[in-house]
Chain A
Amino acid sequence: DAKTTQPPSMDCAEGRAANLPCNHSTISGNEYVYWYRQIHSQGPQYIIHGLKNNETNEMASLIITEDRKSSTLILPHATLRDTAVYYCIRDTGNQFYFGTGTSLTVIP
Chain B
Amino acid sequence: DAGVTQSPTHLIKTRGQQVTLRCSPISGHKSVSWYQQVLGQGPQFIFQYYEKEERGRGNFPDRFSARQFPNYSSELNVNALLLGDSALYLCASSPLREETQYFGPGTRLLVL
Interface residues of A (CB under 8 A from B): 1, 34, 36, 41-46, 49, 87, 91, 93-101
Contacts and interface: CB of A to CB of B under 8 A. Distances in A.
B25 interface: no
A42 to B, nearest CB: 6
Contact of B104 (A43, A96, A97): A43
Interface of B: 4, 33, 35, 37, 42-45, 48, 50, 55-56, 58, 88, 90, 92, 97-98, 100-106, 108
Given A43-B104, A44-B43, A46-B102, 14 more contacts: A41-B106, A42-B105, A42-B106, A44-B103, A46-B103, A87-B42, A91-B98, A93-B97, A94-B50, A94-B56, A94-B97, A95-B33, A95-B56, A97-B45
Contacts of A99: 42
A43 B106 contact: yes
Nearest to A96: B45
A67 to B, nearest CB: 23
Given A42-B106, A45-B103, A98 B42 contact: yes
B100 A43 contact: no
Nearest to A85: B42
B103 A94 contact: no
A46 B45 contact: no
A46 B56 CA distance: 21
Contact of A44 (B45, B90, B97): B90
Contacts of B100: 34, 46, 49
Contacts of A96: 33, 35, 43, 45, 92, 101
Nearest to B106: A43
Contact of A46 (B35, B58, B101): B101
Q: What are the 9 A-B residue pairs with the smallest beta carbon separation, nearest first? A: A43-B103, A98-B42, A94-B56, A93-B98, A44-B103, A95-B45, A95-B56, A43-B105, A94-B55
B4 A43 contact: yes
A73 to B, nearest CB: 15
Contacts of A41: 37, 88, 106, 108
